[in-house]
Amino acid sequence: MPAQGPHDFPVAHWSLDRPPPSQQVQADPRLECEPREVREAGVARLYRLDALSYAAENEAGELVGQAGQIPSLLSGTPHSLERYAGAIRSARGAPPKSQADDREAKDALHELEVSGPDLPVPKRLDVNEWRAFKERYADVFGPFLDQLQKRAARTWALEEAIRRWGEGIPAGTKHRVALLDEAAVEVVGEGAAHVQVHLEEDPPRVSLRAGPGPFPKEAEFQLVVRYRNGEKERLPFFLVSRDTPSEVREERRNRSDSDCEE
Distance CA 190, CA 239 (A): 10
156 inside domain: no
Distance CA 46, CA 54 (A): 7
223 inside domain: yes
Residue 242, domain CATH? 2.60.40.10
Task: Print pLDDT tens along the chain (262 aa).
Answer: 788 888 888 888 877 778 888 888 887 555 444 445 555 668 889 999 988 899 999 999 999 888 888 999 988 877 776 777 788 889 888 877 777 777 767 777 788 888 888 877 888 888 889 999 999 998 888 888 888 899 999 999 988 888 888 899 999 999 999 998 889 999 999 999 999 999 998 889 999 999 998 888 888 999 999 999 999 999 999 998 887 765 554 555 555 554 444 4
213 inside domain: yes
What's the domain count of the chain?
1
203 contacts: CB under 8 Å, gap ≥ 6? 16, 178, 179
66 inside domain: no
